[in-house]
Chain A
C-alpha cells in the first residue's frame, strides 16, 4: 500500500494526538468538563498563549529566538490597560511604534549579524522597564470592546476554541500559503539561496519580526480582555511557554521548519496541562514539576511515533 500522507500532515498528527489524549484524560477525570462552559474554562487562557506562540514561531522561522516575548506581552498588556482604554489614539500609536521597534530589531540583527538571543535579552529589560513605568502597581482597566470580544459566547463552541481555530487558520495562510510566508521560511531554510534568487533577506527578516510584533501585540490585548486589569509581570511565563508551544507543535529551532496549526495545538496542550493537574489534585508544590513531566512525556511520545513512522518508511 502506498502512503499518500505528506510529511507535514504527520508532523501535525503527533501534536494533535497528544492534545486529544490529554483532553480525553481530563474528560475521564471530570466528565462535567465536557460541556460548553467546561471547555470555556479549560481553554480560557489559551488565546493569548496561542497568539504569543505564533509570534515566537515567526521569529523561530528565520532561525532566531525571542527571549523578550514574555516582557513584551506584559508591556502591551500595560499599554492596553492604560492608554488604549483612556486615550485610544495614543494607545494605538504606542502599539504601532512597538511593532515598528520589532521590525527594526530584525533589521539591526540582520545588518550587524548579531545573536538574536542577546538582543532580545537586552530588549526584555527595556520592555520590563517601560511596563514598570506605565504601571508601577497592578491596575488599569481593559477597554470595553476588548472585554466584549473576549467574553463573547458564540454558538456551538466557546470563544476560546473559536478564536484558536481562527488564529490557526489566519497564521496558516500567512506563513504556509502566502508568498511572504514562503520567503520567510526560505530565509530560515537557506539564507544564501534566497539571497541568490534575488530576494531581500533583510526585508524578509524585518517582515517576520514585524508580523511577530503584531501577533504579540494581539496576545497582550487579548490577555487584558480576559484579566480585565494588567501588571508589569503579568505575562513573564510567556517567553518559555511560547518556545515550548512551538516545539510541542512540531516546530524546530533551525531550518525554517515550523507549523502554525501545530503551534496553536501546542499552546492548547500547554494550557490544558495546567487544568489537567488541578483535576488530578496534585499537591500545589508539585504542580510546576508535573507540568515539566507532561512536557517530557509528550516529547517522548513524539519521538516514539517518529521512530514508528521511520520504520514504516524503510519497509
Chain B
C-alpha cells in the first residue's frame, strides 16, 4: 500500500463519526431511490406480463341488455381485433357465519372454458365445469375468508338464494386492484369477484340470448376514441352507459395512480437526501483541506502532481460515498422487498417478483456518486489550486464584523458568548444557511411521513363524520317506487330512511366531457349530505346541480355556468342544467341533485334506486338478514365497516411509512447537526480551550459551542415546517386524480412531532460533541499556533 493510501485510510478512521453520519444520509437517499424505483419496476413488469399473458382488454362497455345477434356488429367496428360479450351483475353473498353483508361482482365465463380476453390465472383448483353451479373466486376474497376449492358459499342472485361451490381461486388482469365502487381501499372481507358459467348467470338474471357487458381488443392501427364513439352509438339503444378505455378502467387507473405516487417518491426523497449529503461532504472536506494546508504544500513540494492531490481527496469522498452506497443498497433492498409485500396485499398479480435490477442499482450509484462529487468539487478544487509556497503559510485569520443586530445598535442585548455565536453565523452566511436548510429538510421529511395520517383523519372526518352519516346503504336491482322506503322504515330498529338514486351520466362543457354519476338525494336529508368547499352543508338543488370541485376543474366549470347532462340510462335524456355550487370531496367525483327534481328531469316517476338507513346497532344482524332475503336488494354497504377498513389499511401502511420517515429524518438531522458540531469543535477548540484557561466554566464554553447548534436547529425547524408544507403540497398535486385528492391538512401534532424528532437528533449529536469538548487537552490546545 502506498503511503498516500495509508494516509487516506487513517483519515477516514479519524473522521469515522462524520463519515458514518454522511454515509447514513447517503444511504437514506439511495435506499428511498432504490425502494421506489425497484418497486415501480417490479410492479410494472409484473403488470405488463400479466396484461399480455392473460390478454387484458382495451375497451370496456356496460349496457342494460342487448341480444347476442349484435355481437358480430361489434366485432366489425373498424379497429376492433376481438370483441367478447359477457354478463356482469352484482349479488349479495354469504360466507359461513360472517354476519356483515358482502357485495359480490359476478362475471360470466364462456361455459366451461377461459374467455378470450381478461383470462383468469387459476391459482388453485380449476374453472367451473359446464352445467355445474361452480364459481372461481378472487384470491383476495378467498384469503380473507379462508375459502378453499370445494367450499361452499351462498349468493342472492336476483332475489333467489343459491348455493355455489368454489371450484377454483383466481386472479384476472381486470381486477388487480379489487375495489368496491366508492371506496378508497380494498375490503376483501366484504367485497369479492366471482366468475361463473354464462349459462348459470343468464338463467339467474333472465339474460338468455343476451349480454350486458362487452370487452374489446384493438388493432394496432385502431383509433381508440373512434372505436369508443362507434361502440357507444351501437350500444345506446340497448342501455349502453358509455364505453371506457383502459386508462379509465378502475383497476388499471388505480395502478397508474400508485405508479405516479412511487415516481413522486423516487424524485422527492432521494433529491432531498442527496443534496444534504453533497452539502455535508462539502463542509467536511473543506474543513479537512483547510487543516491540511501544510500537508498539501509538503506533498506538492515533494513533487506530487496537482491531480494526484485532488484525486487523493476525491478518493476519501468516494470511500465515504461507497459506505453509503453499501448501506443504502442493503436498506433499499430491504425496504423494496417490504414494500412489495405490502403491494402484493393490494395488487393481485399471479406473482409479484420483487427484483432489484442492475440498471436501477447502477442508476442509484451513478446519481449518488455524481451528487457526492458535485458537492466536493469546490473543496477539492481549492486543494488542487493551492500553490505550495502559499500553502506553507498559515491561513489568513478569519475576519469578523459586528452582526446586523449590533449594527442596529442592540448590542447591549448580547453577552460576549452570544456575540461569538452570532458572528460565527454571520461570517459564513452561506454555510450557516445551508445548515439551517439541512435541518429544515429533516423536519420537512418528518412532516411528509405524518402527513398521510393527518390527511386520512381529515378525510374520515369529512366523508364519514359530516357527509355520510347513515349506517347502511342499500342498492336496489332496479328502480323502485317511493313506497319501498316505508317498507324499509318498518324494519325493526330502523330509525331513519332516505331514498337515493344514482344515474350514470356524461357531463359536457364546451369540448370537455366526463363520465360520472349523478346522485339524487333528499332535499333535507340528514344521512347523506353534500358539503361546500367551506364544509357548510349544501342543500341538493332542485334547479341545476352541484358537483365535486375537482370535476368542475376538469370541465372548467364555475358556479353559474351551464353544463350539459346526458343521461346514460332509461330515456337517455339530455339536459342543460346550471351549476349552483361546488362540493368538497376527496374520494371520487360526482354530481348531485335533489331526487324528485332529478326524477322529473329524467322523465321518471317518483322512484328510488336505493336507500340510506339509520339502524340501532342491536338490530343490525336482523336488518342485514332481512335485506339479504329481499329480491329487490342488489347490495348493502356498511358505513362503519368502511371506516374501520379505511383506518386499518391506513394504520398498516402509514405507520410503517411514518416509522421509516422518522428514521430518515432523524438521520438527516443527526448528520447535519453532528457534522456542524464536529466542524465547529475543530474550528473553535483552541478558542474554547483559551476561554476555559481564562476561567470560563464548562457550561459557559458549552453554551458557545452548543448555542450555535441550538440556533441552527431553532432556525431550521420553522423553515422546515414551511418546507414540509410545501413538499406535502407538491405531493398532493402529483396525486390529484378523479380517483382521489389528498387534502393538504397538517395537524399541530405533526408540526410538533417533526420539531421533536429534529430537536432530539440535534440534542444527541450535541451531547456527543459536548463530551469531546470536555476531553480537550487545554495545555495542548494553547500551544498550537493558529
Partners in one complex: no
Which residues from chain B sit less than 8 Å from chain A, CB to CB? none
Which residues from chain A sit less than 8 Å from chain B, CB to CB? none
